[in-house]
Amino acid sequence: MAKKTKKNQAGGTPATVALAQAGTSYTLHAYAHDPAHPSYGEEAAEALGVTPDRVFKTLVAEVDGSLTVAVVPVAGTLDLKALAAAAGGKRAVMADPAAAERTTGYVRGGISPLGQRRPLPTVIDDSAAAHATICVSAGRRGLEVELAPEDLATLTKAVLAPIGRG
């Protein structure tokens, strides 16, 4: 894996800047985003030539009224009850997209769990631990970052829990 260490690389995003500042090893993967593709995550998996269980989408939900980030494989869906339990809450619903964009500083389809405007509590599906590396959005459509799941968990102060459904 390539290690990026420049704080402000050309075309950098807050996610890549956060990775560089932390000194974390990662690889960037850029691809031409097709606005007509029905799924951002599946598009990324196809473009990168990796299985969808290694590409994770970043979703923002409200757990008992507080925004929380869920990172789950693009091949599945988010189990809102499991997310609520993992976050120590009772009820979870998907967040309003505008609130998610405003709080994270990213646009839908490009929300990264890293480098958010306001860091949110984060839960990563425990299936991530089965892989040496996973891919998540690097902060814009058509840009993915590949890194070790334990590095992602450390940087986001996340917990791992079974929050995805196959």
CATH number at residue 98: 3.90.960.10
Please count the structural domains in the chain.
1
159 has a pLDDT exceeding 90: yes
Q: Is the pLDDT of residue 160 over 80?
A: yes
**Cβ atoms of 16 and 111 closer than 8 Å:** no
Tokens of 138: 């690097």
Which residues, in sequence order, are CB contacts of 130 under 8 Å at separation 6+?
A: none
pLDDT tens column, 72-129? 999 999 999 999 999 999 999 999 999 999 999 999 989 999 999 999 999 999 999 9
Is 78 inside any structural domain? yes
| Mean of the per-residue pLDDT values of the chain | 92
Distance CA 127, CA 84 (A): 18
Please check whether residue 13 is in contact with residue 139, taking contact to mean a CB–CB distance below 8 angstroms. yes
Residue 7 belongs to some domain of the structure: no
- Residue 86 located in a structural domain: yes
